[in-house]
């Protein structure tokens, strides 16, 4: 009979997310992960199968939580443009922290189908919500009527990644603010 798990899976995943954010998949050893998670190697393998299984679970948890927070920020504010501004403010506030989803794309691109599926599952509702908010902004007169809402959503998603990369590269708050403001002006 297998021994019961003696650790909280969510907490362990959160600890692994921190390691993977900073070191990527290839740079994270099993020893780094088990030390951060406070578990033994057998527990890691028993719960996740292997390091790749842990990575997939960590990416899924992180991008799901990030997408939920993005959607909440986007839905905030009396006007659609307010939601877009609040979303970009959220991204700027957290931009110095490495993004596991962005790191996964940089490390693997689209070479791993199961990873691509996790990222796409988070991206679809986010892009749809962005497009819907841009459409609302058009109806309110805050965005240009000629703008293609799907293209604008893709542009805003790319801007979010650019803000995160700029912050990790050492950009200051003023530069990150300027990037966000430029993105919003591009919608007018």
Q: What is the pLDDT along the chain (188 residues), one digit of tens a residue?
A: 444 457 788 999 999 999 999 999 999 999 999 999 999 999 999 999 999 999 999 999 999 999 999 999 999 989 999 999 999 999 999 999 999 999 999 999 999 999 999 999 999 999 999 999 999 999 999 999 999 999 999 999 999 999 999 999 999 999 999 999 999 999 99
Instruction: For residue 69, give the CATH number of its domain.
Output: 1.10.357.10
Could you tell me if 71 and 125 are in contact, meaning their C-beta atoms sit under 8 angstroms apart? yes
Q: Domain for residue 52, yes or no? A: no
Q: Domain for residue 1, yes or no? A: no
Give the domain extent around 111: 59-186
Q: Domain for residue 45, yes or no? A: no
Structure tokens at 170: 């050492």
Q: Which among 183, 49, 25 is positioned nearest to 105, based on CA atoms?
A: 25
Is 37 in a helix, a strand, or coil? helix
Report the number of distinct structural domains present in the chain.
1
């Amino acid at each position: 009979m297998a021994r019961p798990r003696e650790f909280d899976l969510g907490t362990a995943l959160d600890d692994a997310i921190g390691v993977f954010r900073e070191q990527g998949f290839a740079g994270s050893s099993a020893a780094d992960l088990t030390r951060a998670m406070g578990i033994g190697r057998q527990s890691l393998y028993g719960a996740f199968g292997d390091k790749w299984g842990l990575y997939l679970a960590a990416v899924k948890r992180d991008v799901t939580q990030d997408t939920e927070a993005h959607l909440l920020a986007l839905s905030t504010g009396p006007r659609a443009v307010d939601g877009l501004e609040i979303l970009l403010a959220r991204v700027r506030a957290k931009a110095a922290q490495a993004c596991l989803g962005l790191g996964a794309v940089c490390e693997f691109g689209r070479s791993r189908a199961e990873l691509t599926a996790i990222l796409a599952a988070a991206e679809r509702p986010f892009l749809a919500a962005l497009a819907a908010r841009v459409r609302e902004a058009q109806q309110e007169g805050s965005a240009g009527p000629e703008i293609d809402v799907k293209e604008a959503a893709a542009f805003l998603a790319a801007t979010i990644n650019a803000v995160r990369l700029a912050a990790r590269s050492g950009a200051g708050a003023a530069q990150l603010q300027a990037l966000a403001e430029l993105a919003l002006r591009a919608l007018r």
